[in-house]
């Protein structure tokens, strides 16, 4: 009976030893994998910090407000000149005669031929 009991205890101890070794191996593999992941994360962190520093060193060139407004002012000036030209075309042409008589006012555009009128 004692040998049977000792044998059972040995079997249980061997089983516990094997189970502990399996758990140890699994835990060792998990630790090894976590260490690799940690190294990769540290490399990624260093790369990200370098990219951040490079980005911080670059200064974005924003055009100044005056240079932007200068372009708009030039466009406004061109549009105003076009409006003045259109208004100049719309003013009636006044003919003045060096002699007495009836003068008829004609509305026309450049290079248009006027009709003759006999009065």
- Whether residue 112 is contained in a domain is answered as no
Give the residue numbers spanning the domain of 39.
2-90
Q: Phi/psi of residue 101, each to 5°? A: 155, -175
Beta bridge partners of 93: 106
**pLDDT tops 90 at residue 1:** no
Is 106 within 8 Å of 114 (Cβ atoms)? yes
Angstrom distance (rounded) from CA 25 to CA 113:
107
pLDDT one-digit tens code per residue, 42-53: 999 999 999 999
In this structure, the dihedral spanned by the alpha carbons of residues 63, 64, 70 and 72, taken in order and rounded to 10 degrees, is: 60
Total number of domains in the chain: 1
Q: What is the pTM of this model?
A: 0.40
């Amino acid at each position: 009976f004692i040998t049977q009991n000792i044998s059972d205890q040995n079997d249980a101890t061997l089983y516990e030893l094997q189970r502990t070794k399996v758990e140890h191996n699994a835990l060792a593999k998990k630790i090894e994998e976590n260490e690799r992941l940690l190294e990769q994360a540290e490399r990624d962190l260093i790369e990200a910090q370098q990219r951040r520093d490079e980005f911080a060193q670059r200064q974005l060139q924003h055009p100044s407000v005056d240079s932007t407004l200068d372009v708009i002012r030039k466009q406004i000036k061109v549009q105003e000149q076009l409006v003045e030209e259109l208004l100049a075309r719309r003013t009636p042409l006044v003919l003045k005669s060096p002699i007495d008589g009836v003068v008829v006012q004609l509305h026309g555009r450049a290079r248009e031929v006027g009709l003759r009128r006999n009065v």
